[in-house]
Chain A
Amino acid sequence: EADIYQTPRYLVIGTGKKITLECSQTMGHDKMYWYQQDPGMELHLIHYSYGVNSTEKGDLSSESTVSRIRTEHFPLTLESARPSHTSQYLCASSGAGGETQYFGPGTRLLVL
């Protein structure tokens, strides 16, 4: 079983607020990922990191930003939340081989 955590699990916030979604893993995995998933829809990769100080944008364009200062943390930030950002955000990590990705429980974000 993977040890990957996300906080908060649920967040309701007003338009224009700055938010940071936390993701941490205790497995020492080099690779970490952020996905966005609307209800009943497919997962879309928005950011990934292959190690400390490495971040890349994924397939789906996103107004969010990420940082990777420590191996275990991969926070995602929205500088100014909008209703269009309402979605579920899933963090995942994988080992050096980059094969199996293990997912955190997700953060459900609602922007009013």
Chain B
Amino acid sequence: GQNIDQPTEMTATEGAIVQINCTYQTSGFNGLFWYQQHAGEAPTFLSYNVLDGLEEKGRFSSFLSRSKGYSYLLLKELQMKDSASYLCAVWNAGNMLTFGGGTRLMVKP
């Protein structure tokens, strides 16, 4: 079976740094994705990790540890527009994406 856990909600201040964690237990693992989803909109791709380590892309970075079944998304210099849900998704051995429930991030002034 698949089990993907991430916090339901987080709050952070504009300009700060926030880390959103994701742990997973899946049957097979081919990679881990992070998507951003604003309320009422479709998810948009943020990052993809297949090897251990940190991938940096502008203000966003994603980390993966396959041995620990753990990933995090790091958002720096938070902006109000970063208020959204962040979805962790695992690409499993069946070549399908399984999504976690998402973490709703609220950025306050």
Spell out A's residues near B (CB within 8 Å): 33, 40-43, 45, 48, 58-59, 90, 98-106
Contacts and interface: CB of A to CB of B under 8 A. Distances in A.
B100 A98 contact: no
B4 to A, nearest CB: 9
Given A100-B33, A103-B42, A106-B42, A43 B96 contact: no
B48 A99 contact: yes
Interface string B76-92: 00000000000100010
Interface residues of B, number: 19
Nearest to A58: B96
A99 B48 CA distance: 9
B41 A106 contact: yes
24 contacts: A33-B97, A41-B101, A42-B87, A42-B100, A42-B101, A42-B102, A43-B43, A43-B87, A43-B99, A45-B96, A45-B97, A48-B96, A58-B96, A59-B98, A98-B95, A100-B48, A101-B33, A101-B45, A102-B45, A103-B42, A103-B44, A105-B42, A106-B41, A106-B42
Which secondary structure dominates chain B's binding surface? Answer: strand
Contacts of A98: 91, 95
Contacts, number: 40
A39 to B, nearest CB: 8
Contacts of A42: 87, 99-102
A7 to B, nearest CB: 14
B87 to A, nearest CB: 7
A94 to B, nearest CB: 9
Interface in B42-69: 42-45, 48
Contacts of A33: 97
Contacts of B43: 43, 90, 103
Given A42-B87, A102-B45, A106-B42, 20 more contacts: A33-B97, A40-B104, A41-B101, A42-B99, A42-B100, A43-B43, A45-B96, A45-B98, A48-B96, A58-B96, A59-B96, A98-B91, A99-B31, A99-B91, A100-B33, A100-B45, A101-B97, A103-B44, A105-B42, A106-B41
